[in-house]
Structure 1
Amino acid sequence: MNKKKIVFLVSGGGGTLKFIFFAIEKLQLPIQIVGIIADRVTNLEKFANKNNIYYNQVAYKRSEPKELQNELNQLKPDVIITNIHKIIDSDTLNMFPSKFINLHYSLLPSFAGFIGMETVEKAKEQNVGFIGGTCHEVNEIVDAGKIIHQGCFAVDWNNDKEIIDTVFKTSCLAILGGICTKIEIKKEGTERVIINDKEIIFSPRLPVSNLDFEENFWVKLKKEHDTI
């Protein structure tokens, strides 16, 4: 079977990228990460070299998209995960229609426009009862693209521990579900998993079982993230 090709656009430490890399290995999915494109200096070049993944840094601006476009044209990805801290220009989006997806640490459309775990602080300020993560298509409006996959869990702000860790893990699984949905990987899975003793509910179903992501998987991921 020909593997589907995905590319990550990154600005930071690549936690989601590393999760997807190990998830592909764990689940034996027909997916290959063929490129990591950074818009600034990151620590991911070592990770890329270690795992034989193409890596490059480009000077991307919405007004100067050609370098990024050339990289993507060479890599020919089926899915592009954009984690860079910039809005992608319309010409680039139109060159790769419906291929750009993004991860947001909230249940969109709630807390659209906030970056990273700022969403958790806003959710706490408003005392929301459910939080989670969303994988969505990318368009020119920030966090407004079609929702592909979501995971959520009930939260008690006064008593729950490890909320940020649970949001991160829930979001990782949501983007895994989003990638598999986009490239039509169909595998018997589940609507619910347990993370940090929390029942996480996903829609649509995830291509995993409750045994696929036990604690040792996350320990391995954290160790890789801390050492690269």
Structure 2
Amino acid sequence: MPNQSRLKIAVLVSGSGSNLQVMIDAMQNGSLPIEIVGVISNREDAYAVVRAKTAGIHVSVLSHTTSGKRMSIATFEKHALEQLNTWQPDLVVLAGFMRVLSAEFIHAVPCPMINLHPSLLPDYKGLDTHHRVLRAGEAYHGCSVHLVVPELDAGQVLTQAWLAICSDETAESLALRVQKLEHQLVPFTLELIIKGVLNLATIQAGQTEGFVPLPYRLWLD
């Protein structure tokens, strides 16, 4: 990947797509040598779809079948895999994608796949991370980018961005602060991949001897 002129990325989304917009902006302003070859959404009402179409990016919405029924995860994965095999990306990014993918799909995807998660993994896997962190009285919170494996939020953590939790923090204010971290962590991670600092094939194979210990960390407020 580092030897290619542009890193080809496919993005899976479910929601507003603010992190997709960060990637679109980096692609359009030339701050990162990336090409977003396509976006797959499992929701037709996701604002991320609007962002992608506005940027002229190919979009595949896989939310309902032709009969109007909500698409099962198996049907979604079948069509998503066909689309990914057509696009042939170098990297798949899950950016606010809210469905759990099967092991069969994860193993069949033709390139590495990374996910952005709103906690300091391995702590607080799953949903509702901001409320859970506050209830536990944690001093720090943040977000992580990790490799996708069949076990939920359990893949090798590549990068993290940290912040100190304020005494008057609410889940809503914390979510906004973490989102700002995400908007910095995503391009930071992509840059490390492009430069070969993070060699995903090597990391997936567990061949990390001699590497700087993962994850790479950003301390931000």
TM, length-normalised to structure 2: 0.75
Partner of 1:22: 25
Greater Cα shift, 123-132 or 62-71: 62-71
Partner of 2:174: 163
Residue from 44, 48, 56 that aligns with 2:48: 44
Given the alignment of the two structures, is residue 90 of structure 1 paired with residue 103 of structure 2, yes or no?
yes
Task: Give the residue type in structure 2 aligned to 1:121.
Answer: H
Between the two structures, name the one with larger relative contact order (CA 8 Å, sep ≥ 6). 2
Partner of 2:36: 33
The answer to whether the 8 A contact 2:93-2:113 is kept is: yes
Counterparts of 2:105 and 2:215, CA distance in 1: 29
The answer to whether the 8 A contact 2:84-2:110 is kept is: no
After superposition, the C-alpha distances for 1:46-101 in whole angstroms (9 at most, x for unaligned) are: 32222110011124644332211110011111111123211122222222366111
Task: Give the residue type in structure 2 aligned to 1:55.
Answer: V
Partner of 1:68: 80
- In structure 1, the gaps of 5 or more residues are 187-201, 211-228
Residue from 150, 153, 156 that aligns with 2:160: 150
Residue from 77, 89, 96 that aligns with 1:77: 89
Partner of 2:62: 58
Matched residue SS, 1:134: strand
Counterparts of 1:54 and 1:104, CA distance in 2: 25
Counterparts of 2:110 and 2:158, CA distance in 1: 15
The answer to whether the 8 A contact 2:52-2:59 is kept is: yes
Residue from 10, 14, 20 that aligns with 1:7: 10
Task: Give the residue type in structure 2 aligned to 1:145.
Answer: G
Taking a change above 3 Å as real, the CA distance of residues 98 and 3 of structure 1, as seen in their structure-2 partners, is: closer
Counterparts of 2:169 and 2:74, CA distance in 1: 47
Note the C-alpha offset of 1:38: 0.8
The answer to whether the 8 A contact 1:133-1:170 is kept is: yes
Counterparts of 1:71 and 1:101, CA distance in 2: 18
Q: List 4+ stretches of structure 1 deviating above 6 A.
A: none
Counterparts of 1:44 and 1:12, CA distance in 2: 6
Taking a change above 3 Å as real, the CA distance of residues 162 and 77 of structure 1, as seen in their structure-2 partners, is: same
Taking a change above 3 Å as real, the CA distance of residues 98 and 33 of structure 1, as seen in their structure-2 partners, is: closer
Task: Give the residue type in structure 2 aligned to 1:79.
Answer: L
Partner of 1:193: none
TM, length-normalised to structure 1: 0.73
Taking a change above 3 Å as real, the CA distance of residues 165 and 182 of structure 1, as seen in their structure-2 partners, is: same
Residue from 138, 141, 145 that aligns with 1:131: 141
Given the alignment of the two structures, is residue 101 of structure 1 paired with residue 114 of structure 2, yes or no?
yes
Note the C-alpha offset of 1:7: 1.0
Counterparts of 2:38 and 2:195, CA distance in 1: 21
Task: Give the residue type in structure 1 aligned to 2:80.
Answer: L
The answer to whether the 8 A contact 1:120-1:164 is kept is: yes
